[in-house]
Amino acid sequence: LGVSGGIACYKSCTLARRLTEGGAAVDVVLTASAAEFVRPVTFEALTGRPVLTSLWQPDRALAHIALARQPDLAIVAPATAHLLARAALGLADDVLTALLLARTGPVLAAPAMNDAMYAHAATRANVKALAARGWHFLGPDTGPLAEGPSERPGRMSEPEALLAAAARLLEQRAPWLGKQVVVTAGPTREHLDPIRVVTNPSSGRMGYAIAEAAHTRGADVVLVSGPSDLPLPFGVTTHRVETTADMQRAVDGLVKHANVLVMAAAPADYRPARPAAGKRPRASGTLTLELEATPDILASLKRPPGCLVVGFALEAPGVEGGNGVAQAQAKLREKHLDYIILNNALEPGAGFEVTTNRVTIIGKSGTPIELPLLDKRDVAERILDAVEQALT
């Protein structure tokens, strides 16, 4: 983690901590100006590793060469205008620029500077030159700068976004590169009136986890999300929808260019036949509603040739009889799916509003794969492992 001198250095502390918590061995290299903002001991405490600040550090001779060669990834955050200019010129006048000049592996840079400095032709040329040499850039973002509000790029990207970008560079896989993946997630809402809705308690976590995992593997991912309070996945294009019909229109438009479609959403199956234009007044006694079926998105799907389609089946085996596999296999055949993911709606720790899930992965052939109770991100990885075999 190379840190150059800017007020955004404080974000680098969070980034170093998060990388370390994720299991990475993080070696921090500070420029002299960066050490004026954040002392080396701070990064040493966060990473548990010594910090390199100079070419002349005792007992660290040629450390910049070792750190150029050994790491899987070099991240420069913040990358100031001065640092980018020196790197573009190939200067090696301090420990960080010397390391970057000797670096042959991937470099991820997060520019951070005054918005006018970033817009300057010299900075733009430096970024272009470094990108042509293989550097990867994230940001800068818009938002408040040290000197005040700004509506132009200059603000360093957030640590969470850098973590996602780093994971993508480190974990991308050849079968997913260039692939277009569409994922649906969350519930839909069908209005009784402008205030009340028919919906379900889906949080969207499973679909969001699949979208994040596919992006990390190198795919270009579009997420079609019903109402959800989850933070949007970094690097993923997101379309917000409200009703099942909205979701159907979005999917029908996006699937035309998709290599993989994962229908992890839990759209409402029914909607009021005659929603009220105004709020229904509260009345004593009962209220009888006539419901009609919503569109079956998968049943009506016109998928392009070669597009793999993954559906989900939420069953209640104890109520419906059997273990749910037969019902899920019937849905797979009926809707012409490549895979269907069977959920048990009644099992503790699985299904809605929890961070874990227990599923069975069912393909058109082969034995169903029953997974133990896992974190939903781990479940997402196992689902994509199955899809990846079909992609190759």
Q: How confident is the model at residue 277 (pLDDT cuts 50, 70, 90)?
A: confident
* Model confidence pLDDT, tens digit, residues 280-301: 777 767 878 889 999 999 988 8
Mapped onto helix, strand or coil, the DSSP state of residue 169 is helix
**Global pTM?**
0.84
- 166 and 246 in contact (C-beta within 8 Å)? no
Mapped onto helix, strand or coil, the DSSP state of residue 340 is strand
CATH homologous superfamily for 2-171?
Flavin prenyltransferase-like (3.40.50.1950)
Q: Which of 98, 88, 108, 76 is nearest to 5 (CA)?
A: 76
The radius of gyration of the chain's CA atoms, rounded to the nearest angstrom, is: 25
Average pLDDT over residues 18-28: 92
**What is the CATH code for 174-276+288-391?**
3.40.50.10300
**Hey, what are 94's tokens?**
């301090």
Burial 63-93 (b: 16+ CB within 10 A, else e): bbeebbeebebbbbbbbbbbbbebbbeeebe
* Model confidence pLDDT, tens digit, residues 354-383: 888 999 999 988 789 999 999 999 999 999
- 313 and 343 in contact (C-beta within 8 Å)? yes
Q: How far apart are CA 29 and CA 45, in angstroms?
A: 14
Catalytic residue numbers, as ranges = 200
Beta strands in the chain, from DSSP E residues, in sequence order = 2-3, 29-30, 74-79, 107-111, 136-137, 180-185, 190-191, 197-198, 220-225, 237-240, 260-263, 270-272, 291-293, 308-315, 339-344, 356-357, 359-363, 369-370, 374-375
Mapped onto helix, strand or coil, the DSSP state of residue 375 is strand
* Model confidence pLDDT, tens digit, residues 75-108: 999 999 999 999 999 999 998 999 999 888 899 9
> For the chain, which residues make up each domain, given as ranges?
2-171, 174-276+288-391
Q: How confident is the model at residue 138 (pLDDT cuts 50, 70, 90)?
A: very high
Q: How far is CA 221 from the centre of its chain?
A: 9
**Hey, what are 324's tokens?**
């749910």
Q: How far apart are CA 237 and CA 222, in angstroms?
A: 5
Please tell me the total number of residues recorded for the chain in this structure.
392
The answer to whether 2-171 and 174-276+288-391 have equal CATH topology is: yes
